[in-house]
Amino acid sequence: MSDQMLATFRSRQQSAGTEKVYHTQCPFCSMQCKKKVLEEKQGGRLRYRTIGVDNPTTKGRLCVKGKNAYQHAVHPERITTPLIKVDGEFQKAGWDEALDLIAKNFRALQEAHGKDAVSLYGGGSLTNEEAYLLGKLARVGFGTKYVDYNGRFCMSSAASAGTKTFGLDRGFTNHIDQIPDAKCIILAGTNVAECQPTFVPYLEEARQNGSFLIVIDPRDTDTAAMADLHLKVKPGQDKQLALLMEHYMVQHGLQDDAFCREQTAGYDDLLARLADVNPKKDAAETGLRLEDIEEAAYRFASAPTGMILTARGIEQQVDGHDTVRHFLHLLLLTGKIGKYACGYGAVTGQANGQGGREHGQKADQLPGYRSIENPEHRRWIADVWGIQESDLPGKGVSAYEMMERMDEGEIQALLLIGSNPVVSNPNANLVHRAFSSVSFMVAAEMFMTESAAYADVILPTSSYLEDEGTLTNVEGRVTLREASRELPGESRHDWQIMMAVAEVMGKGEFFSYSTAEDIFNELRLASRGGKADYYGITYDRIRRQSGVFWPCPSEDADESETLFTDSFATEDGRAHFLTEPTAEEGAKETVDAAYPLYLTTGRTMSHYLTGEQTRRSFRLAAREFESYVTVHPDTARDYGVRSGELVTLTSRRGTAVLRCVVSGDVRRDTLFAPMHWGGRQNINRLIDSTLDPACRMPGFKRAAVFLKTARPEA
Single-letter amino acid code for the residue at 595: Y
Considering the domain architecture, whether residues 612 and 511 belong to the same structural domain is answered as no
pTM of model > 0.75: yes
How many independent structural domains does the chain possess? 4
pLDDT score of 25 more than 80 = yes
Convert the pLDDT of each residue in 325-359 to its tens digit.
Answer: 999 999 999 999 999 999 999 999 899 988 988 99
Q: CATH code at 255?
A: 3.40.228.10
17 — pLDDT class (breaks 50, 70, 90): low
- Both 187 and 310 in a single domain? yes
pLDDT digits (tens, 9 = 90+) for 666-676: 999 999 999 99
pLDDT score recorded for residue 603: 93
178-194 pLDDT, tens digit per residue, is 999 999 999 999 999 99
**Of 519, 549, 579, which one is at a domain's C-terminal end?**
549
430 and 389 part of one domain: yes
The percentage of residues in the chain with a pLDDT greater than 70, rounded to a whole number, is: 97
Cβ atoms < 10 Å from Cβ of 285: 14
* Per-residue model confidence as pLDDT tens digits over 103-149: 999 999 999 999 999 999 999 999 999 999 999 999 999 999 999 99
Greatest C-alpha distance within the chain: 87
| Of 285, 319, 346, the domain-final residue | 346
Confidence band for 714, pLDDT divided at 50, 70 and 90: very low
pLDDT of 154 reads 85
115 and 217 fall within a common domain: no
Query: For residue 472, is it within any domain?
Result: yes
Same domain, 177 and 267: yes
pLDDT of residue 15: 47
Q: What does the alpha-carbon distance between residue 396 and residue 119 come to, in Å, rounded to a whole number?
A: 10
Structural domain includes residue 587: no
Instruction: Judge whether 312 lies within some domain.
Output: yes
Whether 604 is covered by a domain: the verdict is yes
Residue 2's pLDDT band (cuts 50, 70, 90)? low
Regarding whether 376 and 289 lie in a shared domain, the answer is no
Whether residue 460 is contained in a domain is answered as yes
The stretch 608-637 carries a mean pLDDT of: 94
360/337 same-domain check: no
- Indicate whether 393 and 531 sit together in one domain: yes
Helices and strands, number each (H, E), in the chain = 24, 28
Nearest to 343 by CA among 528, 516, 562, 548: 562
Q: Residue range 47-76: average pLDDT?
A: 96
Nearest CA to 449 out of 438, 435, 467 is that of 435
- Same-domain status, 143 and 200: no
Pairing between β-strand 83-86 and β-strand 89-92 as defined by DSSP bridges: antiparallel
Q: Does the structure show a pLDDT above 60 at 511?
A: yes
Q: Give yes or no: residues 383 and 438 share one domain.
A: yes
**CB neighbour list of residue 196: distance below 8 Å, 6 or more residues apart:** 29, 30, 31, 347, 474
Q: Assess if residue 561 is contained within a domain.
A: no
Structural domain contains residue 558: no
3-state SS, 646-688, equals EEEEECCCCEEEEEEEECCCECCCEEEEECCCCHHHCHHHHCC
| Cβ within 8 Å of residue 119, ≥6 positions away | 144, 146, 147, 402, 405, 406, 411, 413, 414, 415
User: pLDDT at residue 259 above 80?
Assistant: yes
Residues 379 and 515 in one domain: yes
Residues 418-464: tens digit of each pLDDT: 999 999 999 989 999 999 999 999 999 999 999 999 999 999 999 99
Dump pLDDT digits (tens) for 358-376: 999 999 999 999 999 999 9
Could you tell me if residue 563 is inside a domain?
no
At 697, which CATH number? 2.40.40.20
The domain containing residue 655 runs over which residues? 597-709
Please give the sequence-ordered ranges of beta strands (E in DSSP) within 427-510, or none if there are none.
440-445, 457-460, 469-472, 477-481
> Average of pLDDT values for 468-493?
96
CATH code of the domain containing 527: 3.40.50.740
pLDDT at position 6 is 46
Final residue of a domain: which of 346, 380, 406?
346
Q: Are residues 47 and 146 in the same domain?
A: no
Model confidence at 14, pLDDT cuts 50, 70, 90, reads very low
